[in-house]
Structure 1
């Protein structure tokens, strides 16, 4: 049987911490997560069959953080058409990342977002959900990239200006 890549979405959520620009990170703690558990990540998850990616992103962020997305950069420029019984959507994420080995095959569309609400302490998939300043995250990513879930490193590096 042919194995296929799994479409996923992720959210780099912008916010504030102590008057500084910040983003939301969390520790990965998935049931059966193996060596990936304990890694830092942004809120992310799988897109269900025929689910609009923006709906999926809002669902995943709510499930993993308790926050409601108020803005997804690029959503306003998405294009939806219905032709011959097909409803199709085109969109431009901040970055698309594909793992070429390791774990299971994922194609991850990461978006820059804003959200509101109150953070959960933890969920069945995450712990230590918190705001971290851009500067602190940048330094952490530079010093210890292995602390981050590999599929989020490129988007975070681009967002934070880490080479």
Structure 2
């Protein structure tokens, strides 16, 4: 057969803007991306995020990714309290509303990222297999970094962070 077309699909991912406090000010958790084979994206600032496994509940995926990348346990995920589940004809289907959905239209590989606003508890890890320099920064510090050096951030997190920081 001539010209067989191989379809490629976007990878479903979840991300967590984790809210906290630093020196009595509103803050959020950021880290430095350091993934094996990460290429030019390694060294960029990011929020905890990762891929959703087949048939994995997005909230479970978010908890897993945050735990793996930061050591923290999510105590609240905005939107989880209003999720809806139905089961019919052998399908269990969940509907939810994330803070923001982001899709890259070019770049390394195709992602559909659902970002959620979260709260967490526990002790931060110093680094993991995928991240280094995991730390709290104030909302004001993050706004300034985004304004001055947006290229320092992983591109799929910029819109969600900008929207979030405009609201706090």
Could you say whether these structures have the same fold, taking a TM-score greater than 0.5 normalized by the shorter chain as the test? yes
TM-score bracket relative to the smaller structure:
over 0.9
2:9 equivalent to 1:4: yes
Which structure has the larger Rg? 2
Equivalent residue of 1:97, what SS?
strand
Q: Distance in 1 between matches of 2:60 and 2:39?
A: 28
In structure 2, runs of 5+ residues without a counterpart are 1-5
Distance 2:113 2:125 in 1: 24
TM-score, normalised on structure 1? 0.98
| Structure 1 unaligned regions, length at least 5 | none
Partner of 2:114: 109
Whether 2:128 is the aligned partner of 1:123: answer yes
Superposed structure 1 runs of 4+ greater than 4 Å apart: none
Q: TM-score scaled to structure 2, two decimals?
A: 0.96
Q: Which residue of 2 aligns with 1:154?
A: 159
Aligned residue number for residue 142 of structure 1 = 147
1:59 paired residue among 58, 64, 71: 64
> 1:115-159, CA deviations, whole angstroms, 9 ceiling, x for partnerless residues?
000000000000000000000000000000000000000000000
Deviation at 1:161, TM superposition (A): 1.3
Residue equivalent to 1:16: 21
The size of the alignment, in residue pairs, is 162
Matched, 1:71 2:76: yes
